[in-house]
Amino acid sequence: MGLGLVPEAGMSGRVVATPYKVRSAYEHFLESFRVAVEDAAGEVLFPDRPLGSSFTDSGRATVEFATFLYLRKLPSRRLSGSKRLDIVIEAIEELEKDSWDSWVLKRSIVRLNYFVISDATAQLVQSLHFDFVEGGQPDHPFFHVQLSDELIHEDKRQSARFDLAVLSSGLPNECWVTTRIPTPDMTLTSVLYCLVADHLGGGIFSEFKRRVDPIKDRLPAVRFDALKNSVQKSSVHFKSFHWFAHMQ
């Protein structure tokens, strides 16, 4: 494969053994996130499989990392005592070897479903996804978040051990939200970092930051080449032309 990876099965999509540097960085970050949430009396449920099996051969000479998280009882200042906030997260990131010791992200998609839980049923109150594709996408900001009412697929929710019934109005959405809001490079680790700051705060966030700061250089970085080229071609930054792929 030319990636320094050891295949563990015999077809595209097979599990691959990633270098310890990459795998351990993801493991360390996710474990630190779990500790932070539990310190705030919440709970993080992961798929019932080793994290290493989340790295697979994408079939494009790259490695895909895919996982799901279910956050239960996340602190929320606006909910009454009879309700709680749960979040289901789906993450897909495509990694490519840049040099012997360096890996970069070619693609990152992180979807979040926010549920208010009451009487053992779940109501979807917010759905969003953060999106990045190396080289950009037509008419898309390079990095953006998109608001919607899209549910993460039931099979994927169940992979994260989310087993609650989801309330539905049964009516089609008559106000599709299509706005893509430009953001910084919000990968899985960036999203989780913000969730700790937004919901846990204070001393828990400070301790989480202390735990994960030493590993930031081991996590795959986003490849910025297309955005860099776009910025260099235009100095009219106040119109944000450089956010868009068609300006590169």
pLDDT at 21 over 50: yes
pLDDT at 9 over 80: no
pLDDT band, very low/low/confident/very high, at 55 (cuts 50, 70, 90): confident
pLDDT at 34 over 60: yes
pLDDT at 80 over 70: yes
pLDDT at 217 over 80: yes
Q: Give the C-alpha separation, 134 to 225, whole Å.
A: 8
pLDDT band, very low/low/confident/very high, at 134 (cuts 50, 70, 90): confident
Helix H, strand E, coil C: the string for the chain is CCCCCEECCCCCCCEEECCHHHHHHHHHHHHHHHHHHHHCCCEEECCCCCHHHHEEECCCCCEEEEEEEEEEEECCCCCCCCCEEEEEEEEEEEEEECCCCCEEEEEEEEEEEEEEEECCEEEEEEEEEEEEECCCCCCCECEEEEEECCCCCHHHHHHCCCCCEECCCCCCCCCCCCCEEECCCCCHHHHHHHHHHHHHCHHHHHHHHHHHHHHHHHCCEECCHHHHHHHHHCCCHHHCHHHEHHHC
Burial letters for 234-245: b for 16+ Cβ neighbours within 10 Å, e otherwise?
Answer: eeeeeeeebbbb
Residue with tokens 């037509």: 138
pLDDT for position 206 = 94
pLDDT at 15 over 90: no
pLDDT for position 172 = 66
pLDDT for position 211 = 96
Q: Give the C-alpha separation, 80 to 74, whole Å.
A: 13
pLDDT band, very low/low/confident/very high, at 12 (cuts 50, 70, 90): very low
Contacts of 230 (CB under 8 A, 6+ apart): 136, 142, 241, 242, 243, 244, 245, 247, 248
Q: Give the C-alpha separation, 189 to 29, whole Å.
A: 7
For 210, other C-beta atoms within 10 Å of its C-beta total 10
Q: Give the C-alpha separation, 69 to 10, whole Å.
A: 28
pLDDT at 194 over 90: yes
**Taking a C-beta distance cutoff of 8 angstroms, is the pair 98, 22 a contact?**
no
pLDDT for position 242 = 59
Average pLDDT over residues 146-150: 87
> What is the overall mean pLDDT for the chain?
82
pLDDT for position 1 = 33
Tokens matching residue 199: 């919901």
pLDDT for position 162 = 92
Average pLDDT over residues 32-39: 96
pLDDT band, very low/low/confident/very high, at 11 (cuts 50, 70, 90): very low
pLDDT at 89 over 70: yes
**Taking a C-beta distance cutoff of 8 angstroms, is the pair 114, 125 a contact?**
yes
Average pLDDT over residues 145-171: 86
